[in-house]
Amino acid sequence: MSLPDPARLLCDRIQRGQPPPAPEMAAWLRETAQALAAGAPASATCAPAFVAAGRRLGRGPLSAGEPLPGPDDPVPTDGWSVDDGGRAALLVAAAAGSPADLADLVEELYRQGDSREKRGVLRGLALLPDAGRFARLALDAGRTNESDLFASLACGNPFPARHYGEPEWNKLVMKAAFVGAPLSRILGLERRANPELARMGMDYVSEQEAAGRRFPPDIWLLVAGQVTPAALARMIGYLNHSAAELRRGAALGLGRAGQPRARPFLSERAAIEQDGNVRAAIAQALEEIPP
C-alpha cells in the first residue's frame, strides 16, 4: 500500500532536510510507515518507532514546506522538529493501515510518551480521520504546565478551532494569553471570534492595566472579531503608547477589526511613527480596513 499523502510528504521533507538524516535512518522511517500503512500491528510497530524517532532522525528543525493536507484543514508545520514530523508520519500511516485500532493507539502513545512524544501526537491529531474523537485527549493536554507542549496544541495547530466547543476554545485562547504563547499563531482565531472571548480579552487588559503590568501586545486579536465601540477606542488610544510593541499590537488589532473609523487615527500615527515594525503594521492595517 502506498503512503497517504501527509506521511509521504513528511518522509520526503525529512529525507531532504538540512542536514539530512543518515540514509539508513530516512529509509527506516519510510519502511516503518509503509509497513504500518499496509496493516502491520499498530501498537507493536508504532510504539517502539515513536520512542526511537528522536534518536534515529534527530531533533533539529523540520525543513520548511507547504502545509500538509488534512481531512478538514491544511496543517502547517512551522516550528516542527524532525522527530515531530517523523512521529506524525507514523500516526498517519497507522491510521490508514489499522483504522479500527487508531483510537487506542493514539491514547497509548500519548499516555505513555515523554514530552516530545506527546508533542508529536498533538501535532499529528489534525491529520487523522474523524479527529474530533480525540477532543477529550486534547483538552486534557491543554491543562499542561509545560509551555512547549501547550504551544504545540494552541499555536499553529488547526485542531482546537475545528473541534473545540466555544467555552473550551475561549479557555484555551485565554490560557495562551496568560502564559505568553503567541496569540497571532492561534489558527482559526478570526473564524472562532465570539462576544464572550472579546469580553474576556478586554477584562484581561483592564486587570493588567490596573495592576501596572503589561499585557500581550497581540491581545487585541481576541477582541477585534467582536469589537465594541469602547474596545475600538482603547485600541486607538494604544496607537500612541510609549512602547513600540503595544503600538504595533494595536495597529494589527485595528486592521483585524476593519472599522473605517480607525483609518484617520492610523494615518495620523503613520505620519509620525519612527519604528519600522510599527509602520509596517499600520500599513497592513490600512490595507485591511475598507475606505
Delimit the domains of the chain by residue range: 5-169, 195-288
pLDDT in tens, 143-184: 999 999 999 999 999 999 999 999 999 999 999 999 999 999
Q: What is the pLDDT of residue 19?
A: 86
The set of cell numbers assigned to 55 is: 534518536
Q: What is the pLDDT of residue 23?
A: 93
Q: What is the pLDDT of residue 18?
A: 85
Q: What is the pLDDT of residue 2?
A: 86
Show Cβ contacts of residue 222 under 8 Å, excluding neighbours closer than 6 positions: 173, 174, 177, 183, 189, 193, 197, 198, 200, 201
Low-confidence ranges of the chain (pLDDT < 50): none
> Which residue is listed with cell 482559526?
188
Q: How many other CB atoms are there within 10 angstroms of residue 69's CB atom?
A: 13
Task: Give the torsion through C-alpha atoms of 249, 250, 256, 257, to 10 deg.
Answer: 160
Q: What is the pLDDT of residue 291?
A: 87
Q: What is the pLDDT of residue 1?
A: 63
Query: What pTM was estimated for this model as a whole?
Result: 0.93
Q: Topology of domain 195-288, per CATH?
A: Leucine-rich Repeat Variant (1.25.10)
How many alpha carbons lie under 13 Å from residue 5 in its C-beta half-sphere? Answer: 9
Q: What is the pLDDT of residue 176?
A: 97
Q: What is the pLDDT of residue 53?
A: 97
